[in-house]
Structures are given as C-alpha cells and as structure tokens.
Amino acid sequence: MMNFVQVMIDALALGSLYALVALAIGLVFGVMRLVNFAQADYITLGAYSLVVPTASITPPLLFGALSPALMILAVIGMVTMLALMTERIAFRPLRRSDPATLLISSFAVSYFLQSLLTLVHGGRPKAVNIGGALTQPVEFAGIRIPGVQLLTLTVAMTLLVALVLFLKKTPIGIQLRAAAEDFQMARLLGVPANRVIAIAFAISGILAGTISLLFVIQTGLLSIGMGITPVVYAFFATVIGGMGSLGGAVLGGMVVGVASALLQTYLPADLRAFRDAGVFGLVILILLVRPQGLIVTGAAKERV
Amino acid sequence: MKRILQDYGPLLILVVPLIVAVALLDQFGSSILNRNATEALIRLVFAVGLYIFVGNSGLMSFGHMAFAAIAAYAAAWQTCCAMLKPITMSGLPDILRENTFPLLPAAMTSVALAGIVALLSGLILMRLSGLGASISTLALLFILNVVYSNWESVTMGTSTIVGLPIYVTLWVALGCAVLVMTVAYVFQRSSWGLMLRATREDEVAAASVGISLYWMRLAAFTLSGMVAGLGGVLMAHFMGTVSITSFFLNLTFLVLAMLVVGGMRSLAGAVVGVAVISLIINVFRTAEAGISLGPIQFALPAGTQELILAALMLLILIFRKDGIMAGREIEWPRRRSTAVASSAAKTMELDNRA
C-alpha cells in the first residue's frame, strides 16, 4: 500500500511535468497552428545556460553560480527571450503557412539550435550539480519520497493552477483562450494577433525554463538531446488530448506521464527498457479508438 | 515515340543527365568522389521514397527512417557474418541464425518486410487527421528506435553490426535510384497518384467526389515505406555496417531538408534537393576536415555543416516556400501546336499551379 502511494506520487510528478510541456505546446499550437519542435531546445538551452561554454565534462558554473532566486530568474529570462526571438525571426514570417510547413520549420529551428549548442558547448554530455540538497528523500507519514519528486510536483501543480487562473481570470488570458479557440474570429473581435502570439511564446519559454531547471536538479546531466524526450511525450499528449484543446493537453500530459511511471514500476525487469515504446504504443491505441483525441474542439477539423 | 517523350519527358530529363554524370564520374572521378556520389545516390533513394508519400499526400512523415532501419536490419540478419551470428544475435529464429541467404532475395525480402510494416502501421496512422498523422509518424520512429536499441539478442542493441557484404557500387546505387524515380513518376501519374494529389489540394472537395483519403494515403504510405526500405538495404550494403543510431533524427532531418530545399511537391524537386544538399555536405565535410589556402590552414568546427543546412532550410521555407523547383517538373520542350497533347500532362500542370 505504502509502495503504491509512492508510485502514485512518482506518476503524478511525471504526469504534471509532461502536462506543463504539453500545455506550452498546446498554447502555441492553439494560436498559430504551430507544433513547436523547438520547445525541446528551449529546455536544453535553459539547462546549458547554467554552465560556461567549454569542452570540459564538468564545466564551471555560469548562471548556476548565482544565488537560487537570481539563477531561476536568469534561466527563465533567457529561455523566454530565446522563445520570443525564434518567434520573431523564424515563425512570424511563416504565420500564413499551412501547419505542415510550420511543423517542418520548427524542426529546422530545433536542428539549428541543436547544432549551435554543439558548436558552442561540444557534443559530449556534461555533469552539473545544482540544488543537491533537494535530492534528499523526505519522510512523510511513513513514506519516503525523493525530494525532487516533491519539488517537481509542487512546482508543476503551482504553475498549472497559476496558468489556469491566468487563462480564466485575466483579460489577456481570456484573449489567449479565445485565440486558441478560433484565431480569425478573435482577431475580428479586436484581439491583437502579434501580442497574443508573443504571449503564448513567452509562456512556453517560462515553462521551458522551469522544466529545464527541474530536469537538471533531478538528473545532474546536460546533453544536447535532453529536451527531446519530454517534448516528444508532450507532442503525443497534445495529440491524444485533442489538438487545439488546452484542457486536452493537460489531460494528455497526465495520461502519458502516469502511464510511463506505471510501466516503469510494473513492467518485468527485462522489459523495462521498452517502456517508451509501450507508452507510444498506447498513444497509437488511444488514437485508434478516438482519432480526434480525447477532447474534440472545432480546431481539430479543417473548416471548408 | 513523341507521345512517350512527352509523357515521360519529366522523368527522362532527370534520369538521362544522372546516368551521363555517373558514367563520366566512373571514368574520370577519384575514388573519394566516386564514394561521395554513391552516397548521394543512396540519399536520392531515401528522398524519393519520402517524396512518394509527402509530395503526393501533402502530409508530413517523420517515420520513414523506421522502415529504412527495419529493412537494413533484415538484410543484416540474412546476409551478415555467418560465423558470429549465432553468438552475437542468439535470439534470431533458427532459420536466420544458421543460414546465410543470397544477396538479391535477401534484399527483396527486406524491402518487402519494410512494406508490410508500413502497411500495418499505415492502417492505424492514416485514420488520423492530417496533422495528427504527421506527428504520430514520429511515434513510430521512436517506438522502433527504443525497441531495436534494447532488443539485444536480435539487434545487438546500440552496437554496430559489422561485416555485411559490400556490393553497392556507384552503378548499383544508380540503378536503384533510377528504378525508384521511375516508380515514383509512374505512381504520381497513375489514377491513384492523381486522386491522392487531389486530396492534397483540398481534402473536402476530394472526398466529395468520392475519393477515399484513407486508402489513397495508405497506398502511398506503403509504397514509400518500401522505397525507404530499399534505401536502408543500400546503405547497409554500402557501409557494410548497420547501427540503429544512424537511422534516427539526424537522417530524418537530412532527408527532410533535401525535400524542402528542392521542393517537396515534385520529383524534380526531390532530385534537385539531393544534389544541392549533397554538394553542401561534401564541401563542408572537407572544410571541417581542414583546408589549406596557400600558407593558411584552417578547419571549420564540427557542427558547422548542420548549422548551415538548418539555416538554409529555414531561409528556403521563409522566402521560397515551395523550394527551388516550386512543385514543378521539368517539362519536355515542345512546340505550341502540340502543347495540347496529353490531357494527363494538363491535369498535372493545373495541379501544380494550385
């Protein structure tokens, strides 16, 4: 029983993490029909900004050397800037393109950022140690929970609630939801396109920055491809949630995260390496039953 | 005769110069140039394979390298290292483990296996809406990568399988490239190809005249999966090695970049894209290895090539969205009076303009 509670906390922590990434992707998809591959590289770049670019595998700290509050601000600020820059330089000129073209262009942006990172930091994985104290397990009512899981869960839940409040209560949030629902109509009703899209990217940047920090605290590793797995998970989360539905993105993120954690625990040991394949297979199975995703919105089908 | 020239002109215009270029290279080129050209021709097979699906259906696929990997491994299982196989790949079924198969049947069954997997996965994926399908092809790539990287007893995990017979020379690669170009061209002019192109231009309108999005897309997906499989087999027997890491995102990106740069809506686009990108790759590969200009020696840092490719791809997307060829085939030059010749050609032009 105790063990089960621990597993569930694990699952929820992972689920809420993926829900955050999926929400970032869902927001941007909602306002401009862009499935943003580069989200992965926002995360990676955020993590790499902690260290000084050298070829060493245990590099000296850059942002990581700042006090915790400043470090968080610096990393999130930098990733947000990066997200806004990619929007301004690469995605804005393509705004009128069809989703397939946008998808390819985000793939190109992602590849560009990856090669840039390889060029600056070298291709080898690196070790970095921040927030070491947070990895200590916490005893709570007889259950030992790794501190990082607790932190991830708290941060993710707080951000999710904050985002929901932002989207539901503030005028800008409402504009954003309106734009995600029907961009043309929202524009006709006076929602400024550039601002809404910029805000969606800024939020996706803030989320990416946070996630990169959580990741580094958890694993202590930096690698060029570190952002890819969570973002690919988040892609499938938005697809099974229903493309264009923000609630769907969160739900989908929870589903893939929880499924992944449960498979990790309950698969027989020699099959555990195939966990990701199991989750992605599950994605395809869900799609087989509900091709439009769990929550279907008007955005899912192209209008005639 | 004239009719054939006109109908197959766009294909001949691509194939004939290719054959001439290869013949010249074979006569006068250095062995390094020869090798680079063979590699480029294998890339052409990949690009045309992806084009058959992407170009005609307008959907994106990130999953085709999975089919290439499946075929490459199938070829390795059948032809590789008779002595070591029982030890390193002990999980193979007896018939594969104990025997070594002749090269041609091995290649054909490998390609067929890729086709079967493409068909089966297509049965599920093609049910999804356009964008959903595009993203889910990525799931395919990741599933295959996870499975083959961890299925130690059959695929040797992430280690490289060494010792496949090497038979892919310049001429073999050329033959295969010409074959798949012909297949692609015949398919896009067939009634199925035209129907699929109609769905690309307007899903709803195409469905309203009774075209099944599902079956047309599935047919193209299967065919292009087989061609990607052929690319995988060629690569395996060109390098003599097979490794799952070489069939992942990097190769996917490269093939995609070739289609984007050339223009993914025409066969000519695919060919031009491969030519341009291969040129860039080879120039920068040399530059990264180090060039000496007189007394000055300099080498570009590793990764420059990828950076340039990504930037080029973005620039093309922003400033010339349909690529260098802009969705056109290179038409056979003809006089005005015969310009009305074939109605098929006209349909194609209309189609391209849309």
| Backbone torsion region of residue B275, taken as left when φ is above 0, otherwise alpha when ψ lies between -120 and 50, otherwise beta | alpha
For residue B344, pLDDT over 60 is answered with no
CB contact under 8 A, A115 and B310: yes
Rounded (10°) angle between helices A147-169 and A2-32: 40
Interchain pair B303, A111: CB under 8 A: no
Of A153-162, A199-208, B161-170, B283-292, least confident by mean pLDDT is: B283-292
Mean pLDDT of B122-144: 85
By CA distance, what is B249's nearest residue in A? A111
Per the structure, the count of domains in chain B is 1
* Residues B161-190, mean pLDDT to the nearest whole number: 91
* Inter-chain CB proximity B130 and A100 less than 8 Å: yes
Q: What is the CATH number of the domain that holds B192?
A: 1.10.3470
- Residues in chain A with CB shorter than 8 Å from the CB of B310 are 108-109, 111-112, 115
At residue A132 the predicted structure's pLDDT band, cuts being 50, 70 and 90, is low
pLDDT at B241 over 60: yes
Which of B137, B101, B102 lies closest to B121 in space, CA to CA? B137
Mapped onto helix, strand or coil, the DSSP state of residue B292 is strand
Q: Left, alpha or beta for B7 (phi > 0: left; psi -120 to 50: alpha)?
A: alpha
Q: ipTM value of the model?
A: 0.83
Greater confidence (A123 vs B221) lies with B221
Q: What's the CA gap between A299 and B41, in Å, rounded?
A: 41
> Containing domain of residue B69, as a range?
2-353
Q: Of residues A163 and B229, which shows the higher confidence score? A: B229
Nearest CA in chain B to A117: B303
Q: pTM, whole model, 2 decimals?
A: 0.87
Distance CA(B92)–CA(B71), nearest Å, equals 15
Q: Is A138 exposed, middle or buried (0-12, 13-18, 19+ CB in 10 A)?
A: middle
Q: Do A105 and B304 touch (CB under 8 A)?
A: no
Q: Which residues of A touch B306 (CB under 8 A)?
A: 111, 114-115, 118
